[in-house]
Structure 1
Amino acid sequence: MGAQHFDIAIAGGGLSGALIALALRARRPELSVALIEGGPAIGGHHIWSFFASDIDPADRALVEPLAAARWDRGYDVAFPEYRRTLPTQYRSIASENLAAAVEQAMPRGAVFTDARVETLDAGGVTLRSGDRIAAGAVVDARGLGGEQLSALQGGWQKFAGQMLELDAPHGLTRPVVMDASVAQLGGYRFVYVLPFGPSSLFVEDTYYADDPALDSELLAGRIAEYAAAKGWQVTSVSRQETGVLPVVTGGDFAALWQDVPHGVALAGVRAGLFQPLTSYSLPDAVRFASHVAALPALDGAAIAAASHRYARAHWQRGRFYRMLAAMLFGAAKPDRRYRVLQRFYRLNEGLIERFYAGRSTAADMARVLAGRPPVPLAKAALVLAGVGAPTSLNPDAQLQPAKIS
C-alpha cells in the first residue's frame, strides 16, 4: 500500500462512519478523509429506516439522497386491543445507497474495504495486513464492542428480516411499523412491514427478549407464516438480514469509555449514541455527523474531546428512556410487554415523534408516566428502586448492527 496520510481517518464504514465521511466531504471539502471498513462493502447489508421528523431541516440534504424508499402517507401500528394510523412520513435507506453515495463523494484511494483494524491510536490506524494509515485525527465508529457490553445493563432487541417477492400486488400503501397483534413469543414481539414495491415487501420479525440468542431459521419460518396468514404468495426472497442489539436500562458511562486510546474519538453506537429503549441510532448518527463537520477545529484532540462531551450529554439525556426500558424488562411479564407500547401509541403524535427522535420534553415524560402504568404497580416500584431490573449485558454476545425502528 505504501505510506498514506489523511487529515481524518474513520474506522468503521457502517452508518455512523459513512455519514461522518459524507458530512465532512460536503461541508469541509478541504480536509482529506479516509473511511476504513473491515467488511467487503460500505454499509454492510442492511436497511435503516427513520421518520422524516427525526431529521433536522438543516441535515435533510445529508440523508434524503440516500433513501431507497419514501412513504408520505404515514404508517400503521397494530396491537391486540388497538390499531392506529399516524401521519408521520417514513423513509428507508438501503446499504447499497449508502455505499454508492460514499463512492461518489470520496476521492479515489480514500475508501478501504476488507481492511480489518488491528489497532488504532491518535496518530492513525494499523490494519491486520500490517499496513498503516496515518492521520491527524482518528474516529472509531466500528460499532459497540463486546468488551463495552459489560458496562451496560439491559435486554435485547433481535430480529430477522426478508424482502419478499410476491406473485401479485399486496395493496399496502403505508409501512406497518409495529404489528404486535401477532402471538407474543419469547418476549415482546412485533412484525414490521415495508412495501418497497407493488409486489415487494420487506418483512421483519422482531423481539424484545431477555437473551441475545437468535434462531434465524425459526424467525424465517415465522415470517413465512405471517405472509401466509395475510394471503401473500411468496415467489422468492431477494434479501435477508438479521440483527441483535442492546436495549439499555442502565450502566456506567465512564466504563463505556475507559479503554478508548488517548486522543481517539468515538462515534455511533460505539460511543453510546442510540436511543436506549428502541436501539434506534440513525437520528443520532446524523446529528453527530453534522456536529463533527461544524466543529471549529478538526485536529485529533479537538474531535476526541468533542465526541466525549457529546456522548456524555447524550447519556445524561437518555436517563428517561433507560428507566422505561427497565420497566419494560423488569416489571412486565414477557407476554404482556406489548401493553406498554399499546398504551404509548394512544398518546399525541408529536410526543411519539419526539420519543423516537430521542428528544422527549419534560412535558412528554410527565405524560408518558401519568396514570396507571400497564405493569404491576408493586413490580414497577421495585424496578424504580433498582430491584429486579436487568443485569449487565453479556460481553460475549454477537451483536449485529442494523436498522431499528
Structure 2
Amino acid sequence: MRTQVVIVGAGPSGLLLGQLLHKAGVDAVIVERQSPEYVLSRIRAGVLEQVTLNVLAQAGVDARLKREGLAHTGFDLLFKGERHRIDLAGLTGGQQVMVYGQTEVTRDLMDARQAAGLTTVYSADDVQIHGFDTDHPSVSYTVDGQRHTLDCDYIAGCDGFHGVCRASVPRASIQEYEKVYPFGWLGVLSDTPPVHEELIYVNSPRGFALCSQRSMIRSRYYLQVPLTDKVENWSDDAFWTELRHRLDPEASERLVTGPSIEKSIAPLRSFVTEPMRFGTLFLAGDAAHIVPPTGAKGLNLAATDVKYLSDALIEACVEKSQAGIDHYSTRCLARIWRAERFSWWFTSLMHRFPDQGEIGQKFQEAELDYLVHSEAGARSVAENYVGLPLDFGWKG
C-alpha cells in the first residue's frame, strides 16, 4: 500500500496533522499502537492558546469547542495566603485562553477523521520506520498477526516521548536536552463545580497546587508531591485535606469535594530534541519536546509544530517546493525554546524545591510580589501565558 504521508501516532498532534493534510488534498494514513479507547482515556490538560484555536478552526474541528469551551481572560496567583489576578485580556490587548480538555480535542479530531472515511490503523504492533534517510521511506506494522508495509514520501513522528520515531534516529544525528524535576503532580479529576471561575496557581510553603477545570461541573486539581509518593497511598480525603491547607481561606471555604474519577501522579521534565527533521522523517509534539505542565504549553506547542509541518508538507506535496521542509526544524525550535524557558521559569517560581530551603521560599515570594505589582512584570507573564505570536522573532 502507498500513501503520501504516514503519521505515526493518533494523539492530538497526529490527528490534527492528518486533518489539515486532508483539507489540502494530501493523502495520509495514521498508524497507532494503542486502541482508540486507550487514546481517549489519557487525561491531559486543556488550556488552549489563540494560535491553537486558529489551527483547530482551520482544521474544521472547533464547532463543539465554541459551544462548550470556557473562555478565560485571566488567572489568579496565590502566595502568602492572598490571591492576585493576572488580567490576561487587559495586559495583552484583549487576548484570552480557552479551557477545553485535551481529551475532547482528541475526540473531535477522531470524529472528524471517521466522518471523512480516512484510514487510521489502531492496535498496530511492532511499528517500525525504514529508509527515512532516502527518498523511499516506509512504515511497517503488524495487525492481527499480519505484517503490513506502507510506502510513502514522508513520515511524521507524532508518537510521543516513548515512541519509535525519535528512537530510530542514529544517536550521532540527534542532540537531546533534558531537565528532570525532583517532584511530580498528583492530579485528581472530580465531578464537582470548580472552586473558582478561573484557574488558581498556588505557591505555598507546603508546595505548589493548581485549581483547574474542564467544565462548570467537572474540576481538575493538582498537588506537588515527592516523586517517591505512590498514588495508592493518597486517599480522596487526604488529597482534599492537603489541598485545603494550600489554599487561601475563601477558596478553602468554597471548595466542593467529591469522589475522584481519575487520580494519577505525573513526573515533570523539560526536554528538547534537536533537530526535528531527519531526511524524510519529521518529529512533532511530545516526540520532540516535553514541557512541565505549569505553563500549559504542551498541547499548544504540539499544535504549532503541526501547523508548521502541515504547511511544509502541503507545500512539498502540492506545490513541489522544499522551502517549508528545509525550515521546519529551525522554525519550530525558535518557538519551542521560548515556551520551554517560560515553563521552566514558571515551574521554578511556583514549586517548593527541596534543596533551596526557607530562603528559596522568600525569593519566590519576593518575585511574585514584584510581578503582581509591576505592570511590566505582569505583562510579561500574560504575554507568555496566552502565547506569543506564531512567528515571533522568526527571521527565516
Shift of 1:213: 5.1
Which of the pair is proportionally richer in helix? 2
* Paired residues for 1:300-379 under 5 Å: 302=322, 305-314=326-335, 317=338, 321=342, 324=345, 333=356, 336=360, 338-339=364-365, 342-343=368-369, 345-346=371-372, 347-348=374-375, 349-356=378-385, 359=388
The yes-or-no answer on 1:37 pairing with 2:66 is: no
Q: 1:139 Cα shift?
A: 0.4
| Match of residue 238 from structure 1 | 261
Deviations along 1:60-96, one digit per CA (max 9) or x if unpaired, are 5557446453134533221225421234444122414
CA contact (8 A) 1:192 1:205 kept: no
Cα offset, 1:244, TM superposition? 2.7
Cα deviation 1:12-57 (Å, max 9, x = unaligned): 122222221222233x1x1122222222224552233225455475
Match of 2:184 in 1: 158
Q: What is the deviation of 1:233?
A: 5.6
Deviations 1:232-255 (A, max 9, x none): 56443233454334135xx7x55x
- Equivalent in the alignment of 2:139: 125
Equivalent position of 2:239 in the other structure: 223
Aligned to 1:111: 120
Deviation of residue 265 (structure 1)? 0.8
The separation in 2 between residues aligned to 1:340 and 1:9, in whole angstroms, is 50
Distance in 2 between residues matched to 1:24 and 1:341, nearest whole Å? 45
1: CA distance between counterparts of 2:340 and 2:112? 39
Contact 2:292–2:344, Cα closer than 8 Å, also in 1: no
Using the TM superposition, give the Cα deviation of residue 110 of structure 1 relative to its aligned residue in structure 2, in angstroms. Answer: 0.9
Structure 1's unaligned 5+ residue stretches are: 361-405
Equivalent residue for 2:159, pick from 123, 142, 145: 142
Rounded Cα–Cα distance in structure 1 between residues aligned with 2:13 and 2:141: 20
Normalising by structure 2, we get a TM-score of 0.68
Number of aligned residue pairs: 338
2:69 match: secondary structure: strand
CA contact (8 A) 1:164 1:236 kept: yes
Flag the 1:237–1:323 CA change in 2: closer, same or farther, 3 A: closer
Secondary structure of the residue aligned to 1:143 is: coil
- The answer to whether the aligner puts 1:282 opposite 2:291 as a matched pair is no
CA-CA distance at 1:277 after TM superposition = 7.8
In 2: Cα distance, 1:344 partner to 1:132 partner:
58
In structure 2, distance between residues paired with 1:65 and 1:274: 28
Using the alignment, how far apart are the partners of 1:341 and 1:39 within structure 2?
A: 44
Q: 1:133 to 1:80 in 2, by over 3 A?
A: farther
CA contact (8 A) 1:20 1:290 kept: yes
Is the 8 Å Cα contact of residues 35 and 110 (structure 1) preserved in structure 2? yes
**How far does residue 140 in structure 1 lie from its aligned partner after superposition?**
0.5
Q: CA deviation at 1:269?
A: 2.4
Alignment of 1:289-304 (within 5 A): 289-295=306-312, 296-298=315-317, 302=322
Q: 1:127 to 1:91 in 2, by over 3 A?
A: same
RMSD: 4.1
Q: Which residue, out of 206, 220, 225, partners 1:183? A: 206
Structure 2 Cα separation of the partners of residues 343 and 192 of structure 1: 20
Does the 8 Å contact 1:11/1:17 carry over to 2?
Answer: yes
* Distance in structure 2 (CA, Å) of the matches to 1:245 and 1:150: 20
Pair 1:108–1:213, CA change in 2 (3 A): farther
Deviation per CA, 1:296-319: give whole Å up to 9, x if none. 214899576443233443456568
CA gap of 1:297–1:6, structure 2 versus 1, over 3 A, is: same
Counterpart AA for 1:223: F
Deviates more, 1:332-341 or 1:282-291: 332-341
Measured in 1, the distance between the counterparts of 2:300 and 2:22 equals 19
Distance 1:173 1:319, change over 3 A: closer
Residues 345 and 47 (structure 1 numbering): CA distance in 2 closer, same or farther, change over 3 Å?
Answer: farther
SS of equivalent residue, structure 2 residue 259: strand
Structure-2 separation of matches of 1:322 and 1:236:
31
Q: Which residue of 1 aligns with 2:21?
A: 24
Question: Deviation at 1:324?
Answer: 4.3
Q: TM-score, normalised by structure 1?
A: 0.67
Determine the C-alpha separation between the residues in 1 that align with 2:230 and 2:265.
Answer: 10
| Equivalent residues of 2:270, 2:340 under 8 A apart | no
Runs of 5+ in structure 2 lacking a partner? 89-95, 246-251, 390-396
Matched-pair identity in %: 11
Which residue identity lines up with residue 230 of structure 2 in the other structure?
D
Which residue type is aligned with residue 120 of structure 2? V
The equivalences for 1:43-82 within 5 A come to 43-53=40-50, 55=52, 57=54, 60-62=57-59, 64-65=62-63, 67=65, 69-72=69-72, 74-80=74-80, 82=82
1:127, CA displacement in angstroms?
Answer: 1.7
